[in-house]
Amino acid sequence: MIQHLHPETIRKDFAIFNAHPDLVYLDSAATSQTPIQVTDAVLNYYESFNANVHRTIYSIGNEATQAYEAARKKIADFIGAEDAASVIFTKSATEAINLVAHAWGRKNLSAGDEILITEMEHHSNIVPWQLTAKETGGDLKYIPISQEGELEDWENCISEKTKLVAITHQSNVFGTINPIKELAAKAHAAGALVLVDAAQSVPHSKVNVQELGCDFFAFSGHKMLGPTGVGVLYGKTDLLEKMDPFLGGGEMIKTVTMETSTWNEIPHKFEAGTPNIAQAIGLGAAADYLNDIGMENVYAHEQELLQYTLNALGDLPGITIHGNPKKRGGVVSFNVDGIHPHDAAQFLDDDGIAVRAGHHCAQPIMQKLGVAATCRASAYLYNTKSDIDKLHDSLEKVKSVFN
């Protein structure tokens, strides 16, 4: 049963709203706020069992190892992965995608092979493939998007030449939720692998990597109530097992001689060096927190706020909302006619409202829309309708200043 969230109660878990009671934070698509349950989990590591993992005999080292591996299990469960070993901790979604581009892409792609991405990707899912294409002689192709912010004619973009489809689950500009399941089926039929950039979907909806049928799945901790400095790459175990490592160092080896080395089992093969222990543990706590609230409830709450936002901004003359995808998350990009987004955002800030102004690391979309930048308001479980009312009122004020 979907239940109503109580953002007012939820806000009490977030110290930032104590420090800044009037803060209207509408930039969760960039980074989310952090509940005390997460900072407590992080603190608890430093205060009670601060030790390196995996190679310690002593008690606090065992605790650290157990807590770190328990976090891996929590994340595996959170995304519906069967095997905890298929979850690799990285420093960010960006690193997760680059890991695949290096450890899989550079070994498995060659001239004539196609990497298929979309026009709505974040730079983190564009630049690694531009670099990979250049190194391997492969071709980078784009699924076009419509003015509504939806994929266009993607079925016909997949061919026998396609070796990898790398696509965002949810657009950070339009909020579009892409049809990953259908796309993965079609890609697999053509013999291609599928990487999903889930940086914007995992925090805001219930996901299941097995149902989606993807091969790789990347996301960040800091956008889902977790700490900065931790991300996740999920990969199918047989793929990960076949792949060569990415970074070399401690943890990822089985044996090292002066001449050569052999690799550890997954996931450790891909976690060279001392891992981000405290951050992984914090991310596990974030998953716990979100589970307690229920991802269906988070999604429903954001859908409600989304409609409310679209109505509120639609009421204001001279506001252009970009895109109108049928299935979308709680992200709204807009411009105020005749007012540069950075000026608008500056005035909103003066009213305590944090929205993002810029290209949102998605310059190809900006080029498509013919703007240098937009404003973007993105909601999360701690936002209320009153936040949106304040956005509405403040935008009215901005317009009056510039007219």
Partner 1 sequence: MAGKPGYQYVMQDIRELYQEVILDHNQNPRNFGPLESANREAEGFNPLCGDQLKLYADIENDAIKDIHFDGSGCAIFKASSSIMTELAKGKSVEEADTLFDQFHELVTTGSADAESLGKLAVMAGVHQYPARVKCASLAWHTLKNILDGSNETVTTE
Ligand X SMILES: Cc1ncc(COP(=O)(O)O)c(C=O)c1O
Would you name the residues annotated as active-site residues? Answer: 361
Question: Longest Cα pair distance anywhere in the chain, in angstroms?
Answer: 72
Span near partner 1 by CB under 8 A; candidates 49-57, 100-108, 188-196, 222-230: 49-57
Binding region for ligand X (CB under 6 A) out of 109-117, 120-128, 137-145, 240-248? 120-128
93 forms part of the interface with a copy of itself (CB under 8 A): yes
Q: Which of 119, 197, 302, 387 binds ligand X (CB under 6 A)?
A: 197
Closest distance between partner 1 and the C-beta of residue 143, in Å?
Answer: 23
> Is residue 147 a contact residue for partner 1 (CB under 8 A)?
no
If one asks whether residue 93 binds ligand X (CB under 6 A), the answer comes out as yes
Q: How far is the CB of 402 from partner 1 (least distance, A)?
A: 7
Is 25 within 8 Å of 383 (Cβ atoms)?
A: yes
Q: What are phi and psi for residue 374, nearest 5 degrees?
A: -135, 170
Taking CA atoms, 206 is separated from 187, 203, 211, 296, in Å, by 23, 8, 11, 6
One symbol per residue from 47 to 66: x for binding a copy of itself (CB under 8 A), - otherwise; what is it? xx-xxx--xxxxxxx-----
How many of the chain's residues bind partner 1 (CB under 8 A)?
45
Among ligand X, a copy of itself, partner 1, none, partner that 18 touches (CB below 5 to 8 angstroms by kind) = a copy of itself
CA-CA distance, 51 to 65, in Å (whole number)?
Answer: 8
Is residue 199 involved in binding ligand X (CB under 6 A)?
A: yes
Exposed / middle / buried, residue 6 (Cβ in 10 Å: 0-12, 13-18, 19+): middle
**Cβ atoms of residues 364 and 126 within 8 Å:** yes
Shortest approach of ligand X to residue 152 CB, angstroms?
19
Q: How many CA atoms lie within 13 A of 37 on its CB side?
A: 18
Partner whose footprint covers residue 276, from ligand X, partner 1, a copy of itself, none (CB < 5 to 8 Å by kind): a copy of itself
Q: Choose between 310 and 361: whose C-beta lies nearer to ligand X.
A: 361
- Does position 401 interact with partner 1 (CB under 8 A)? The reply is yes
Burial of residue 160 (CB within 10 Å: 0-12, 13-18, 19+) is: exposed
- How do the residues of the chain divide into helix, strand and coil, expressed in percent and rounded to 5? 45, 20, 40
CB burial of residue 31 (10 Å; 0-12, 13-18, 19+): middle
* Out of 65, 136, 172, 178, the residue judged to bind ligand X by CB under 6 A: 172
124 touches ligand X (CB under 6 A):
yes
Binding pattern to partner 1, positions 247-276, x when CB under 8 A? Answer: -------xx--------xx--x--------
Site string for partner 1, 353-392 (x = CB under 8 A): -x--xxx---x--x-----xx-------------------
- Tokens of residue 21, six digits: 């009671």
Residue 33 binds: one of ligand X, a copy of itself, partner 1, none (C-beta under 5 to 8 A by kind):
a copy of itself
Helix, strand or coil, per DSSP, at residue 284: helix
CA dist 276 → 60, 131, 216, 272, 339 (Å)? 16, 27, 21, 11, 42
Instruction: Could you list the beta-strand ranges (E) of 132-268.
Output: 139-143, 162-168, 193-197, 216-220, 231-235, 253-256, 261-263
Phi, psi torsion values for 318, nearest 5 degrees: 80, 20
Residue 88 vs 218, nearer CB to partner 1:
88
State yes or no: residue 273 binds ligand X (CB under 6 A): yes
The span from the first CA to the last CA of the chain, in angstroms, equals: 49
Name residues contacting a copy of itself, limited to 236-265 (CB under 8 A).
245, 247-250, 252-253, 255-261
If contact means CB under 5 to 8 A according to the sort of partner, which of a copy of itself, partner 1, ligand X, none does residue 258 touch?
A: a copy of itself
Interface residues with partner 1 (CB under 8 A) are 19-23, 48-49, 54-63, 65-67, 254-255, 264-265, 268, 339-340, 342-343, 346-347, 349-352, 354, 357-359, 363, 366, 372-373, 401-402
